[in-house]
Structure formats: structure tokens, C-alpha cells
Amino acid sequence: MIRVSSKGRYAVRALTDLAFHGATAPAQMKDVARRQRIPMRFLEQIFADLRRGGLVASKRGPRGGYQLARPASEIRVGDVLRATEGVTLRTRRAAASVELREVCDQILDDLAHEMEACSSKLTLADVCARAEQAGIARGGRSSSVYVI
């Protein structure tokens, strides 16, 4: 079975959030964490990997936060997964008989390569477009709403 870790899934969600909601100004990590329901400590680790991978840039100060390092149309989902997962996507291999092991391993490896090839074609802009088709409204910085 092809597996993408929680770290990889969260990274794709976080960068899609930046592309979708933070196009005009840097986004606060706490806002991304809240919107995407990602634990803050885990998101800090993920953003460190994404920064090392050249996918996000940070800006300090009161209006600081994180932005995509390049346009969403130039960032592939495969780039995000490689920055967080390592060299390639991982496969989980079940125990099999000696006669079938090599065949099963080859099929799982082929599937992992197909998934990597597919994710290398898909951009964050594609994911944002699909979110818009689903009726999700774009937004800028989040603002607090107080109701009495």
C-alpha cells in the first residue's frame, strides 16, 4: 500500500492553505494551524523542512509570517512531499511467500513511482482551483470576530 506520512499530508495542506488564503500577505503559522487543524509544534517542524526545501519564505515582524517562495503554479505536490518525506515516497510491504515477494515488491515500487510522477505534475494552483470548484471561498488574513 502506498503511504504518505502525516507530515507529508500536513505539508500539502499547509502549503495549499498559503496558496489559497495567503496570496496577498504573509500568513501567520497559528492561522494555518487553526484552519488546517495541524498541531502547532508539528507545523513548526514542517515549515522548517519546507523552508530548507526552498518552498516557503518567512518574514519577521508584526506583519510577518510565511509565504510561498514562488508562485503556486510552480510548486508541485511532489516537491512538497520530497521536502518532507525525503527522497521518495515510501511503500509498506506485507509479508508474502518467497515466490510472490519479488513480484509484489516490484508492483509496489511501480505504484510508488506512479504516485510520485503524478504528484510531480500536480501544482498547488491545481489544488486551489479544485477547492474553488468545491465552493470554498478564498480569504486573506483571518480576523477575529467577537460576538456578544
Segments making up each domain of the chain, as ranges: 2-133
Phi-psi region of 76 (alpha: psi -120 to 50; beta: other; left: phi over 0): beta
| Residue 88 pLDDT | 52
| Residue 73 pLDDT | 93
| Residue 108 pLDDT | 67
**Residue 33 corresponds to which cell in the numbers above?**
494551524
pTM above 0.75, yes or no: no
CATH number of 2-133: 1.10.10.10
Closest CA to 50 of 40, 59, 58, 60: 58
Q: Which residues contact 54 (CB under 8 A, 6 or more apart)?
A: 69
Per-residue pLDDT tens listing for the chain (148 residues) = 456 788 988 999 999 999 988 767 889 999 999 999 999 999 999 999 999 999 999 988 888 899 999 999 999 988 998 899 875 544 444 544 545 566 666 776 777 788 888 888 999 999 999 999 999 888 755 544 455 5
Closest CA to 17 of 32, 38, 39: 32
State how far the Cα of 14 lies from the Cα of 122, in Å rounded to an integer. 16
